[in-house]
Structure 1
Amino acid sequence: MTSLRDILVSGIRRIDAVSPALTGRVANVAFFATTRQMRVRDSDRVTHDAARRESIRIGGHDVVTYQWGAGARAALLMHGWDGRASQFATMVRDLVAEGWRVVAFDAPAHGDSSGRRTDARDWVAAAQRLAASEGPFELVIGHSFGGFASLAAVREGVQARRVITISAAGSVQAFHDEFERMLRLSPRASEAFERAFHRRLGISREEGIARFDSVTHPLPPEVELLIVHDEDDPRVTIENAHALHRAHGERARLLVTQGLGHNRILGADRVLDAVIAFAADGPHGIDRADASEQRGVRGA
């Protein structure tokens, strides 16, 4: 059976042969679109339904927020593109059991929130709004695109002592490169796509790097970082994790897993143990963990 991806690639390649500029514009529309296919999994339903739900207005959309627990320490969780907050259900249960109050949201055009298109600015705006009403957050955790957005949010003023990224990249260009590879864009179409991207955001490429590139512009020096990534992640390559690690030096730790892919990594025992250890005591918590459980964790 032909997949939607194959159809998209075939259609865009045909346009590319005639007009790379038009291809870039079409690719830009596709880049910001979401599938909205993800439903709450049966295994996550009880945790999802137990949340205290509210709604905030972000970018003209009703954004559904979730909260669990009543601890003094607060953590913010940010899901990825085409994801939803319920993906964190196992992590939510573990954090609440450790005394954390956990806050999350479905980004516009995702989960139970309204909208058809979104971008990183909405993730950052939601994080800022929740930091003002539910923070300050000691911990921010982001998966995939949510990890990228969590880095940007903390760099833009969301208070956090520690950040954990899972299956994430630290730059816009990393997502562009993957998208352009998937669509097999020609060099001219890639240039047109990136021009259209920056026009949509109303910023120059240089302004985009300054605002969203956490490799070139790392987190504030007092913020500690745990980077979790599978070595064979099919969607965001492991080099993105290494780049983030190098950029943040001794205050960062890198946990590399095997065989967990891009999404299953969220519920893996080894990852959950590392999250709890880092949440409690930052890099020292990781360093003190049992060596047999921490193969693949490296300091700077």
Structure 2
Amino acid sequence: MSEKIYFNTSNKFSVKRSLVSLSTRLHHRLAPRHAEKTARKLLLTPVRTQSKNLEPKGLIRGEVVSKEGVLKTYQLGTGPVWVLTHGWSGTASQYYPLMEHIASRGYTAVAYDHPGHGESEGVYGHIPAFVRGLEAVLDSVDDVAGLVGHSMGTASAIECHHVKLTDKPMLLIAPVLDYLDNLFSSVARSGYSMRLFNTIVTEIADQYRYPIQSVDPYGKLKLRTAPTIIVHDEQDKFTKFDVSSRAAQEMDKVTLYPTQGQGHGRVMKCEQVMQSFDELIDFVK
């Protein structure tokens, strides 16, 4: 259900949206604890999608213990490590084509399923959990050369302060650089009670000691000194291309390669992504 909220981009009037607004506000007023329990299940539970890509030959499956439970990892190749972090309701399998490309260039590709995603443990997904998961994966590997992120995975990667990412290049695919605006506007468009949503957000912030107001991928990207390449489709319906374009214009270390007709998901295995990876490894050699 959360996909229908976070990936709802319509601004048109909807009877269904009005009913959602009325019912969730009334639920929260009459039975606040039950409403909050329902909201956590609805808003924080990602869809566990199935793989659409063939598993590469030689793929090594493993696991990493994190504070969010056991995370499943997928490794291909040899050499310095590139960590790949997927987005909301995604899986590591979305990266299989890119992992094969990375391995062919003499590197190790390490992807993993976020908490509550794919084959990993956990129920809920949110930025603090994504960051914790990434930190656990980074702790488990040596010789990190760089990072690839997609969608919400890009936000958590930029938010992550792990020392192994310091001065490392990043390839950001369809990034969510305006995370807070994207999140709150998506929920507002769905008609869901914003008061109830704010209650859940505050609960997570208090539990993880991670204030929602501190989440600022765009601002933190400005502070990075290593090169970053963004690949983003101009017609992406879920994350804003114009924000990526503005980042490339304002930030010296950021380069944007736009695509056409690749959407939000297919873009992960397009030619521009493969070429961008090659450009980044040429830079760091």
State the TM-score bracket (shorter-chain normalisation). 0.7 to 0.9
1:32 matched to 2:44? The reply is: yes
2:135 paired residue among 128, 131, 140: 128
Distance in 2 of aligned mates of 1:263 and 1:84: 11
**Do 2:75 and 2:110's aligned partners in 1 also have CA atoms closer than 8 Å?**
yes
Q: CA deviation at 1:253?
A: 0.4
1:14 matched to 2:26? The reply is: no
For the residue of structure 2 that corresponds to 1:35, the secondary structure is coil
For the residue of structure 1 that corresponds to 2:255, the secondary structure is strand
Q: Given residue 163 of structure 2, which amino acid in structure 1 is its aligned partner?
A: G
Partner of 1:197: 201
For the residue of structure 2 that corresponds to 1:200, the secondary structure is helix
Q: CA deviation at 1:15?
A: 1.3
State TM-score, norm by structure 1. 0.78
**Do 1:178 and 1:235's aligned partners in 2 also have CA atoms closer than 8 Å?**
no
**Do 1:33 and 1:117's aligned partners in 2 also have CA atoms closer than 8 Å?**
yes
Q: CA deviation at 1:127?
A: 2.0
Distance in 2 of aligned mates of 1:122 and 1:4: 21
Distance in 1 of aligned mates of 2:87 and 2:229: 17
1:77 matched to 2:81? The reply is: no
**Do 2:237 and 2:264's aligned partners in 1 also have CA atoms closer than 8 Å?**
yes
Q: CA deviation at 1:20?
A: 7.0
Distance in 1 of aligned mates of 2:141 and 2:209: 33
Distance in 1 of aligned mates of 2:141 and 2:114: 17
Partner of 2:186: 179
Q: Given residue 157 of structure 1, which amino acid in structure 2 is its aligned partner?
A: V
**Do 2:116 and 2:124's aligned partners in 1 also have CA atoms closer than 8 Å?**
yes
Q: Given residue 110 of structure 1, which amino acid in structure 2 is its aligned partner?
A: H
Partner of 2:114: 107
Q: Given residue 199 of structure 1, which amino acid in structure 2 is its aligned partner?
A: E
**Do 1:108 and 1:116's aligned partners in 2 also have CA atoms closer than 8 Å?**
yes
Distance in 2 of aligned mates of 1:195 and 1:269: 42
CA deviation profile, 1:143-180 (whole Å, cap 9, x unmatched): 11111111112x44342510111111124313313422
1:255 paired residue among 242, 254, 257: 257
Q: Given residue 254 of structure 1, which amino acid in structure 2 is its aligned partner?
A: L
Partner of 1:207: 211
Distance in 2 of aligned mates of 1:198 and 1:158: 30
**Do 2:39 and 2:196's aligned partners in 1 also have CA atoms closer than 8 Å?**
no
Question: Unaligned 5+ residue runs, structure 2?
Answer: 6-13
1:274 paired residue among 265, 268, 276: 276
For the residue of structure 1 that corresponds to 2:217, the secondary structure is coil
Q: 1:151 to 1:116 in 2, by over 3 A?
A: same
Distance in 2 of aligned mates of 1:28 and 1:115: 13
State TM-score, norm by structure 2. 0.82
Q: 1:24 to 1:235 in 2, by over 3 A?
A: farther
For the residue of structure 2 that corresponds to 1:245, the secondary structure is helix
Q: CA RMSD in A?
A: 3.1
Q: Given residue 279 of structure 1, which amino acid in structure 2 is its aligned partner?
A: I
**Do 1:227 and 1:254's aligned partners in 2 also have CA atoms closer than 8 Å?**
yes
Q: Given residue 170 of structure 1, which amino acid in structure 2 is its aligned partner?
A: L
Distance in 2 of aligned mates of 1:45 and 1:134: 25
1:46 matched to 2:59? The reply is: no
Distance in 2 of aligned mates of 1:268 and 1:87: 12
Partner of 1:157: 163
Q: CA deviation at 1:266?
A: 0.8
Q: Given residue 257 of structure 1, which amino acid in structure 2 is its aligned partner?
A: T
Partner of 2:226: 223
Question: Unaligned 5+ residue runs, structure 1?
Answer: 286-300
**Do 1:64 and 1:105's aligned partners in 2 also have CA atoms closer than 8 Å?**
yes
1:233 matched to 2:233? The reply is: no
Partner of 1:289: none
For the residue of structure 2 that corresponds to 1:202, the secondary structure is helix
Partner of 1:117: 124
Q: CA deviation at 1:264?
A: 0.5
